[in-house]
Amino acid sequence: MNNGSFDWNQFFQALAHFSPWILVKILFLVGFGVYAIFALVVLTQIFAMTRTVSSPLNAWVRLFGFLHFAFALGLLLFMFEAL
């Protein structure tokens, strides 16, 4: 019976079972993914800065950069499990 026409009844049945929380979960996961990418960019910038500018605090800055990236990655993985 489907000769290329759109089945509105099937569409409305699928829409009735749609949960907006799925969209919210997807947006949260995308947001945490962007944050993890941002943390990676910050880490690469820290390495570029510590190669250019020498300071006695370079080791601490690198450590905090690693911790920030590890936290962002751990948060992303936790959100995949929690959501």
pLDDT tens readout for residues 18-73: 888 988 999 999 999 999 999 999 999 999 999 999 999 999 999 999 999 999 99
Please give the DSSP secondary-structure letter assigned to residue 81.
H
What is the rounded distance in angstroms from the CA atom of residue 20 to the CA atom of residue 30? 16
Q: At residue 6, does pLDDT exceed 90?
A: no
Q: Would you list the DSSP string of 49-63?
A: HHHHS--TTHHHHHH
What's the CA gap between 23 and 4, in Å, rounded? 29
Model pTM score: 0.74
Give the pair of three-digit tokens for residue 57. 């605090």
Question: Exposure string (b/e) for 64-73, b if CB count within 10 Å is 16 or more?
Answer: ebeebbeebe
